[in-house]
């Protein structure tokens, strides 16, 4: 089989499930198997997205959601990676903080939303806080795990060559833990989109979460599903961006794989 045929087969395999899903979705309301008042066919959803683009509403809602999700996620990345590296590298620091962190991570971001509103109001700060809290934990836990799993042989080899603590941290620990850290960041990105919906459903006038809830309240069901699809696309794009960044920071893994 030629390379072109293999690529075509790969594309067909990867698109088969999603195409089947949308075909079934289109048929269910069209054949009156499901009431179209509750499940709009994808063709109507596409029309709703087209109207959003035409009237300029799409950019307003997408930029509002992007601003909130990225601000919360970036804060979570900074706090989660720094704290995780410290916990993974300094055992006493972990012994002191771990009981508190284990307790805190059991508290859902949604359960804390009333607390965030009390302290920060219903503005952007509380929305950023809920996204931060939801995204922080997978980043922290994966960073701790990656730091602890760094091969001792690498550390001992660097020490035997006279490597300083800074050299160990930046040239050995951080690169070796990077794959696990980026796994946490990508999980944090997924959690951030989930928390975004809840954050935007309270005290918002723009954003995809607000648009979904508002469309449901006025019974504009195609618009509601349009918001859901756009939110899924936003999540996919964010995941793709994080995957591209990960591949650039972990190029050495490809080199090891090729040498192996």
C-beta separation of 73 from 135 below 8 A: yes
Does 191 or 162 have the greater pLDDT score? 191
Per-residue pLDDT reduced to its tens digit, 217-254 = 888 899 999 999 999 999 899 988 888 888 887 765 55
Region 51-64: mean pLDDT is 89
- Dihedral class, residue 134 (left if φ above 0, else alpha if ψ from -120 to 50, else beta): alpha
Does 7 or 62 have the greater pLDDT score? 62
Is the model's pLDDT at 203 over the cut of 60?
yes
C-beta separation of 143 from 85 below 8 A: yes
| Closest residue by Cα to residue 220 from 10, 71, 47 | 47
Q: For the domain made up of 41-259, give the CATH fold.
A: MetI-like fold (1.10.3720)
Per-residue pLDDT reduced to its tens digit, 115-164 = 888 888 888 888 899 999 999 999 999 999 888 887 777 766 777 776 66
Domain ranges of the chain: 1-39, 41-259
Task: For the beta carbon of residue 107, count every other beta carbon within 10 angstroms.
Answer: 12
Q: What's the gap between Cα 156 and its chain centre?
A: 35
What is the Cα–Cα distance from 189 to 129, expressed in whole angstroms? 14
pTM more than 0.75: yes
pLDDT at 163: 64
């Amino acid at each position: 089989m030629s390379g072109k045929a293999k690529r075509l087969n790969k594309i067909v395999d990867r698109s088969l499930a999603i195409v089947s899903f949308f075909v079934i979705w289109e048929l269910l309301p069209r054949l009156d198997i499901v009431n179209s008042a509750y499940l709009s066919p994808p063709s109507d959803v596409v029309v709703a997205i087209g109207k959003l683009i035409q009237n300029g509403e799409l950019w307003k809602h997408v930029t509002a959601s992007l601003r909130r999700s990225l601000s919360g996620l970036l804060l979570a990345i900074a706090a989660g990676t720094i704290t995780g590296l410290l916990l993974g590298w300094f055992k006493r620091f972990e012994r002191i903080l771990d009981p508190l962190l284990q307790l805190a991570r059991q508290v859902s971001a949604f359960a804390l939303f009333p607390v965030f509103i009390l302290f920060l109001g219903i503005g952007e700060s509380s929305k950023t806080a809920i996204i931060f809290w939801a995204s922080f934990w997978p980043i922290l836990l994966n960073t701790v795990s990656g730091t602890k799993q760094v091969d001792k042989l690498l550390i001992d080899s660097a020490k035997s060559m006279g490597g300083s603590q800074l050299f160990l941290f930046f040239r050995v620990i951080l690169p070796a833990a990077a794959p696990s850290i980026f796994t946490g960041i990508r999980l944090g990105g997924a959690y951030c989109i989930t928390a975004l919906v809840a954050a935007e459903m309270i005290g918002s006038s723009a954003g995809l979460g607000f648009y979904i809830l508002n469309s449901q309240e006025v019974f504009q069901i195609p618009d509601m599903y349009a918001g859901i699809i756009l939110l899924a696309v936003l999540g996919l794009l964010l995941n793709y961006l994080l995957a591209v960044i990960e591949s650039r920071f972990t190029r050495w893994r490809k080199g090891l794989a090729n040498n192996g």
